[in-house]
């Protein structure tokens, strides 16, 4: 676990450590440093390239939300249930929706009757027009009344379709065959449009998305070979690797999508995984090595992370840029080199630095 130092001590000790880096000649004047436990930083090799952390996600995933208001009358399935396409997942009260559908159908019947009557009136006026028994204005009025009645009938039909759809929304069905991943409501709850109800995913197609620095994206695009390391050191070769064409303007990173082949057993969505790209190897001479240290050796203060590095009789607080955490170990992106001796306990290291300063009279910092 990353240990947190006092908010007042961390910045001051960091400043002292940086000052000490520029005045190495005074190191011999300091009293001996108390014995503290240290370890030597050693590279942890990942064959073939650098590892990027990602999360397994389902390609087909549907977050179902309410499309009408009402009360949940029944929930037919629960989490982890396998459902077929069209399976009823839950039912919502439909009193208002059914009443609206009945009203719309009644209005449609009235509009159809008016349209029939207007059509007959127009035919009669058109027949009388040949003998000039009616005026041209009367014919035009009859035609306009017929057209208005037909438009009203069509609008009533649309209202019926809309009301029927609202009634259909009271029965929530599975959009495709899959597994219920989440359930957000219970029977008896009142819901409103847009409220989350359930989440369903298809377990067959899985993928991972990772963000890589834009400086590495082109190399991965030219050589998209990769491997995926799942929990339990399970290595698989992806079915397809797609590098996104644009970089994120905020993080200056490029997303890479890794599609997984059919696996048995398949990892559950949300499982963490590591993606290793062959093209994203470390510079020559490092053999694809990366540095990892115990998380308990890291002193954390807000966004600032650091470790105490021993150099002779000095302990220097060195700021780090950290990467992914794996159990009790954390990846070091920058700030340390292989062979550095790091204090195992940052609190004990701080106490040793303080005692050394006091013994020196506080004049050699």
Please state the pTM of the whole predicted model: 0.54
- Predicted pLDDT of residue 2: 59
- Predicted pLDDT of residue 64: 94
Q: Which domains does the chain have, with CATH numbers?
A: 3-47+289-359 (2.40.420.20), 51-59+205-280 (2.40.30.170), 62-90+170-202 (2.40.50.100), 94-169 (1.10.287.470)
Nearest partner of 86 among 205, 200, 164, judged by Cα = 200
What sign results for the dihedral spanned by CA atoms 151, 153, 155, 158?
negative
pLDDT in tens, the chain (365 residues): 556 555 444 444 444 444 444 444 444 567 787 788 888 887 665 444 567 889 999 999 999 999 989 999 999 999 999 999 999 999 999 888 888 888 989 999 999 999 898 898 888 888 887 777 778 888 888 889 889 999 999 999 999 998 888 888 889 999 999 999 999 999 999 999 999 999 999 988 899 999 888 888 888 898 888 989 888 778 889 999 999 999 888 888 899 999 999 888 888 898 899 898 888 654 433 444 567 889 898 988 778 889 999 988 888 899 988 876 766 888 787 888 888 999 999 998 888 888 888 887 754 43
DSSP bridge partners of 99: none
- Predicted pLDDT of residue 4: 57
What sign results for the dihedral spanned by CA atoms 357, 363, 364, 365?
positive
| pLDDT one-digit tens code per residue, 181-226 | 999 999 999 999 999 999 999 988 899 999 888 888 888 898 888 9
- The alpha-carbon radius of gyration of the chain (Å, integer) is 36
Alpha carbon 210 to chain centroid, angstroms: 11
Q: How far apart are CA 169 and CA 192, in angstroms?
A: 12
């Amino acid at each position: 676990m990353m240990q947190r130092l006092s908010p007042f001590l961390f910045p001051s000790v960091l400043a002292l450590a940086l000052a000490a880096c520029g005045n190495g000649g005074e190191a011999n004047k300091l009293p001996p440093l108390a014995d503290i436990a240290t370890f030597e930083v050693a590279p942890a090799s990942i064959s073939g390239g650098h590892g990027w952390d990602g999360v397994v996600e389902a390609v087909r995933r549907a977050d179902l939300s309410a499309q009408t208001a009402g009360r949940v009358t029944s929930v037919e399935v629960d989490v982890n249930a396998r459902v077929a396409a069209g399976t009823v997942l839950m039912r919502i009260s439909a009193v208002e929706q059914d009443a609206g559908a009945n009203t719309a159908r009644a209005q449609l019947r009235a509009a159809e009757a008016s349209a029939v009557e207007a059509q007959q009136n127009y035919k009669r006026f058109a027949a009388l027009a040949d003998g000039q028994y009616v005026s041209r204005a009367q014919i035009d009025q009859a035609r306009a009344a017929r057209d208005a009645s037909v438009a009203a009938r069509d609008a009533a039909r649309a209202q019926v379709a809309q009301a029927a759809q609202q009634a259909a929304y009271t029965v929530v069905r599975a959009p495709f065959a899959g597994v219920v991943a989440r359930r957000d409501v219970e029977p008896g709850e009142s819901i409103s449009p847009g409220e989350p109800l359930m989440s369903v995913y298809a377990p067959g197609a899985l993928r991972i998305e990772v963000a890589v620095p834009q400086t590495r994206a082109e190399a991965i695009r030219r050589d998209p070979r990769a491997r995926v390391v799942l929990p339990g050191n399970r290595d698989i070769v992806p079915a397809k690797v797609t590098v996104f064409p644009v970089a994120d303007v905020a993080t200056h990173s490029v997303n890479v999508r890794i599609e997984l082949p059919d696996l048995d057993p398949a990892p559950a969505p949300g499982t963490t995984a590591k993606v290793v790209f062959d093209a994203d190897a470390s510079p020559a001479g490092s053999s694809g090595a990366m540095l990892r240290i115990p998380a308990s050796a890291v002193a954390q203060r807000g966004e600032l992370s650091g470790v105490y590095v021993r150099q002779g009789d000095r302990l220097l607080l060195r700021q780090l840029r950290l990467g992914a955490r794996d159990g009790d170990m954390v990846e070091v992106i920058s700030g340390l080199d292989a062979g550095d001796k790091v204090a195992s306990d940052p609190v004990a290291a701080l106490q040793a630095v303080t005692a050394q300063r006091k013994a020196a009279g506080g004049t050699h910092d």
